[in-house]
A and B are shown apart, each in its own frame.
Chain A
Amino acid sequence: MALVSIRDLTVSLPPGADRALAVEDVALEIGRKEIVCIVGESGSGKSVTAHAVLGLLPRGVRAERGSILFDGTDLLKETQDAMRRRRGCDIAMIFQDPMAALNPVMAIGRQISEQIRTHRTISEHEALEQAKGLLEEMGLRDVAGLLKAYPHQLSGGQRQRVMIAMALSLSPRLLIADEPTTALDVTTQAQILKLIKRLQEAREMSVLLITHDFGVVADMADRVAVMRHGRVLESGAANEVLSNPAHSYTRALIAAVPRGEGRLAPPSDMRPLVQVTGLTKRFRRGGLFSRSQATVAVDGISLTLSRGETLGVVGESGSGKSTLARCVIRLLDPEAGTITLDGADIAHMRESALRPLRRRIQMVFQDPFSSLNPRQTVGDILIAGPRAFGEDTKKARSQAADMLRLVGLNPQTIDRLPHEFSGGQRQRIGLARALMLKPEVLIADEPVSALDVTVQAQVLKLLDDVRRQMNLAMLFITHDMRVAAQICHRVMVMRHGKVVEEGPTHDIFNTPSSDYTKALLAAIPGHGLL
């Protein structure tokens, strides 16, 4: 018999939500010693399902029908108190953002020992010994020091390992992991996934893994359920679903996973439009009364970019890729080096001299929510650029309508506010804003990393179409090698502010020369399986 069997689970949302039911008639089995993945995009109901198993549905969200049998007992019929005893003991959970899940003012050792002592009557000392053993099992080094450390002193990967250690401290039979690696770098993600798999085998537990990434499914899952709009569309053995998806949506999801082919033909005109040499940017911390410390974010970077060409800058967090982008567009002032745009050095130009050149180099931002002014209509957002260059409002508005059409939005939506649009549509508005000034260079800073995978594919295609139509030179910043492979002619890999490797996309993917690039490629989830 399966460890968990969910039958006809229907969960209602409070009145006024965008739909009545969060999930409807969900059926799912989690066998013993099995990893089951729930895959879906945002709003699919995958997290609600997981939280229902834990009995942790948000206020106003209620399970209406169905049952969740855990080893024969229906969890939906358990009392609050019985569920509290089960959490941590029988069923444990790890979250997407370990920083938010850890107590920032309590040392790691105490957090773990407190968790153990909530459920077991043992001494503080014994609990700490157990905590030490657990952290060692997670593959962490310098455990004695870690026990005394606070969450902010740890790296993202270390924090997630601590979270897993806490979750496993009472040897639960089911571990629920809600997007446990989404906030992590790709190499760290690979390590954490490997760790979860190893622990699952060693401890013979079941894992319910929630993800949006079919690559992760390919690496991890024994069985998989695909969810959309609160329903399970398809479920079955992972290799079967992957190789022979029955539902068209599953096929679309799998097809939307970027493959890393890198077959874009290089542009015909290879005269450099942007040339960066020896660009350096340091950040100083501390002020008037404390000694300042400097970190070198960008360390002597050089690059060239031609019309019609996309150069991908790939790196993990802290590699300096975003700082590089912000220096090139002069949102930050570089310390040393030159940035020539069509012959003019803009690296150290004064803002007043730079302003006329600004229209030639534009940017698309990462966050679809904070990149649009929430109090301005789409029309006002789009005409801000032309208005700053003294263009007539009426003319700018008609251009804005055309631009909305170009990016695939209905021009009738011109008087709406940003919150009425979805994440993908907002990124289209952000792109339209950048294109309003008819730029020659477009800098895209992680433009698709906050989007669902099917939306991601659409926006990438739009970027590439626009690049072709307007003969743009594009500097494309991303942490995702697969995304870079889809859209870039050349790729530059960055680490610790320096260039590790640079070359045509195809070469970087097939014959990488540096160990770091090889490690990045090997860490791609679903590597080789998809």
Chain B
Amino acid sequence: MGFVRRFLARPTTVVGLGVFLLIVAIALGAPLIFARGPFSIVGMPLLPPGAPGLLAGSDVLGRDMAVGLAYGARISLLVGITSTFGAVGIGVLFGAIAGYYGGVIDDLLMRVTEFFQIIPSFVLLMVLVAFLQPSLTSTVIGIALISWPQVARVVRGEFLSLRSREFVQAARVLGMRDMAIIFTQILPNALPPIVVVSSMMVGTAILTESALSFLGLGDPNLLSWGSMIGGSRSAMWVAWWTTVLPGLAVMITVLALNFIGDGLNDALNRRRRR
């Protein structure tokens, strides 16, 4: 398999993939390993990592940090992946139609895209989430709504160049309908950059979710890495682990996703050089 070999050619990709799979495993296994849940108080507050029975110490309320980190991974990955799917869905639809039809339709759709791009996206996100009431759903919807223009731009560019290729013209001559041409002829050829952008976007979405939760705009019933940092910021100077550990978790996850994105970029875009 040429693809797998090219994908794993960089050591950073292998590391990124390994770390990401580990995080996924922790997220999936959290309820099995830590059945008591992240909110239960297990001891004195602000115990350092390594205290008896507390691998990562305890937070300001005496909750087990390790449990919080494991459960936080669930939220981060869930938000990252679902909001990316949403963003890719909207972005592909907008980009494909704008790029394929061009002209007035393109102008119109691109103006809508620009509308989302020129507004400071995080401010828009905060307003959206506050308006919809903070919850997991509103976070996902909000992040998807501020991220899709990037996908739309990439897809539009790919469609603009691919639609003039002769095989697309041949499909039109054969009497294929526009939707069939867009989805069966052009989209498969535009997938590599979409996959690369999406893998990076999962990382950005995780960062955004953390920032929202830090500001207290996350789902109040769920513990996420961002809300862990936000809740512990008063203890930052006396108990470094309460903020540094969730921060590291975010950083490592995003870095792993970026490494995977780089590897996908190398593996998928090589044969397109022609």
Q: Does B172 contact A (CB under 8 A)?
A: yes
A365 to B274, CA, bound (A): 18
Contact with A along B146-172 (1 / 0, CB 8 A): 000000000000000000011101111
A362 to B169, CA, bound (A): 11
Q: Does A363 contact B (CB under 8 A)?
A: yes
Are A331 and B173 closer than 8 Å at their CB atoms?
yes
B5 proximity list for chain A (CB < 8 A) = none
User: Contacts A370-B166, A372-B167: A433 and B174 contacting too (C-beta < 8 A)?
Assistant: yes
Are A369 and B173 closer than 8 Å at their CB atoms?
no
Are B107 and A288 closer than 8 Å at their CB atoms?
yes
A42 proximity list for chain B (CB < 8 A) = none
Are B167 and A373 closer than 8 Å at their CB atoms?
yes
A421 to B107, CA, bound (A): 40
Please classify the interface of chain B as helix (H, G, I), strand (E, B), loop, or mixed, using the class held by over half of its residues: helix
B residues 168-220 with Cβ under 8 Å of A?
169-177, 180, 184-185, 188-189
User: A93: shortest Cβ distance to chain B, in Å?
Assistant: 24
User: Contacts A366-B166, A371-B167: A385 and B189 contacting too (C-beta < 8 A)?
Assistant: no
User: A128: shortest Cβ distance to chain B, in Å?
Assistant: 38
User: Contacts A288-B107, A373-B185: A385 and B166 contacting too (C-beta < 8 A)?
Assistant: no
Are A355 and B274 closer than 8 Å at their CB atoms?
no
B175 proximity list for chain A (CB < 8 A) = 355-356, 358-359, 385, 388-389, 437
User: A373: shortest Cβ distance to chain B, in Å?
Assistant: 4
Are B177 and A331 closer than 8 Å at their CB atoms?
no
User: A529: shortest Cβ distance to chain B, in Å?
Assistant: 36
User: Contacts A374-B189, A388-B180: A331 and B172 contacting too (C-beta < 8 A)?
Assistant: yes
B166 proximity list for chain A (CB < 8 A) = 365-367, 370-371
A276 to B216, CA, bound (A): 70
Residue among B169, B172, B189 making CB contact with A375, cutoff 8 Å:
B189
A374 to B185, CA, bound (A): 10
Q: Does A384 contact B (CB under 8 A)?
A: yes
B184 proximity list for chain A (CB < 8 A) = 384
Are A370 and B167 closer than 8 Å at their CB atoms?
yes
B165 proximity list for chain A (CB < 8 A) = 370-371
Q: Does A329 contact B (CB under 8 A)?
A: yes
A residues 323-370 with Cβ under 8 Å of B?
329, 331, 355-356, 358-359, 361-363, 365-367, 369-370
A363 to B168, CA, bound (A): 12
Are B189 and A331 closer than 8 Å at their CB atoms?
no
A388 proximity list for chain B (CB < 8 A) = 174-177, 180
Q: Does A430 contact B (CB under 8 A)?
A: yes
Are A384 and B171 closer than 8 Å at their CB atoms?
yes
Among residues of B, the one whose C-beta sits closest to the C-beta of A439 is B173
A375 to B189, CA, bound (A): 7
User: Contacts A288-B107, A373-B185, A374-B189: A384 and B169 contacting too (C-beta < 8 A)?
Assistant: no
Contact-residue bracket for chain A: 20 to 34
Contact with A along B10-35 (1 / 0, CB 8 A): 00000000000000000000000000
User: A323: shortest Cβ distance to chain B, in Å?
Assistant: 13
A365 to B170, CA, bound (A): 8
User: A322: shortest Cβ distance to chain B, in Å?
Assistant: 11
B188 proximity list for chain A (CB < 8 A) = 373, 375-376
A434 proximity list for chain B (CB < 8 A) = 170, 173
A363 proximity list for chain B (CB < 8 A) = 169-170, 173
Among residues of A, the one whose C-beta sits closest to the C-beta of B191 is A375
User: B204: shortest Cβ distance to chain A, in Å?
Assistant: 28
Are B173 and A358 closer than 8 Å at their CB atoms?
yes
Among residues of B, the one whose C-beta sits closest to the C-beta of A354 is B175
Among residues of A, the one whose C-beta sits closest to the C-beta of B164 is A370
A95 to B171, CA, bound (A): 35
A376 proximity list for chain B (CB < 8 A) = 185, 188
B residues 100-151 with Cβ under 8 Å of A?
107
Among residues of B, the one whose C-beta sits closest to the C-beta of A433 is B170
A358 to B170, CA, bound (A): 11
Are A384 and B173 closer than 8 Å at their CB atoms?
no
User: A12: shortest Cβ distance to chain B, in Å?
Assistant: 23
Among residues of A, the one whose C-beta sits closest to the C-beta of B188 is A375
A430 to B165, CA, bound (A): 14
A464 to B47, CA, bound (A): 87
Among residues of A, the one whose C-beta sits closest to the C-beta of B189 is A375
Are B174 and A369 closer than 8 Å at their CB atoms?
no
A residues 2-26 with Cβ under 8 Å of B?
none
A493 to B175, CA, bound (A): 30
A367 proximity list for chain B (CB < 8 A) = 166
Residue among B174, B180, B274 making CB contact with A437, cutoff 8 Å:
B174
A373 proximity list for chain B (CB < 8 A) = 167, 171, 185, 188-189
B174 proximity list for chain A (CB < 8 A) = 358-359, 362, 384-385, 388, 433, 437
A374 to B192, CA, bound (A): 13
A423 to B176, CA, bound (A): 25
Are A365 and B176 closer than 8 Å at their CB atoms?
no
A residues 170-194 with Cβ under 8 Å of B?
none
B171 proximity list for chain A (CB < 8 A) = 373, 384
User: A292: shortest Cβ distance to chain B, in Å?
Assistant: 13
Are A365 and B189 closer than 8 Å at their CB atoms?
no
A385 proximity list for chain B (CB < 8 A) = 174-176
A358 proximity list for chain B (CB < 8 A) = 173-175
Are A384 and B189 closer than 8 Å at their CB atoms?
no
Among residues of B, the one whose C-beta sits closest to the C-beta of A389 is B175
A359 to B185, CA, bound (A): 19
User: Contacts A373-B189, A375-B188: A331 and B167 contacting too (C-beta < 8 A)?
Assistant: no
User: B178: shortest Cβ distance to chain A, in Å?
Assistant: 8
A355 proximity list for chain B (CB < 8 A) = 175, 177
User: B163: shortest Cβ distance to chain A, in Å?
Assistant: 11
A371 to B166, CA, bound (A): 4
A430 proximity list for chain B (CB < 8 A) = 170
Residues of B within 8 A of A (CB): 107, 165-167, 169-177, 180, 184-185, 188-189, 271, 274
Residues of A within 8 A of B (CB): 288, 329, 331, 355-356, 358-359, 361-363, 365-367, 369-376, 384-385, 388-389, 430, 433-434, 437
Among all A-B residue pairs, the 10 with the closest Cβ atoms: A358-B175, A371-B166, A385-B174, A365-B166, A373-B167, A388-B176, A375-B188, A370-B165, A388-B175, A370-B166
25 CB < 8 A contacts A-B? A331-B169, A355-B175, A356-B175, A359-B174, A359-B175, A361-B173, A363-B170, A363-B173, A365-B166, A365-B169, A370-B165, A370-B166, A371-B166, A373-B188, A373-B189, A374-B189, A374-B271, A375-B189, A384-B171, A385-B174, A388-B174, A388-B176, A433-B174, A434-B173, A437-B175
* Other A-B pairs beyond A388-B177, A430-B170, 13, CB < 8 Å: A355-B175, A355-B177, A361-B173, A365-B169, A370-B167, A371-B170, A373-B167, A374-B271, A375-B188, A376-B188, A385-B175, A385-B176, A388-B176
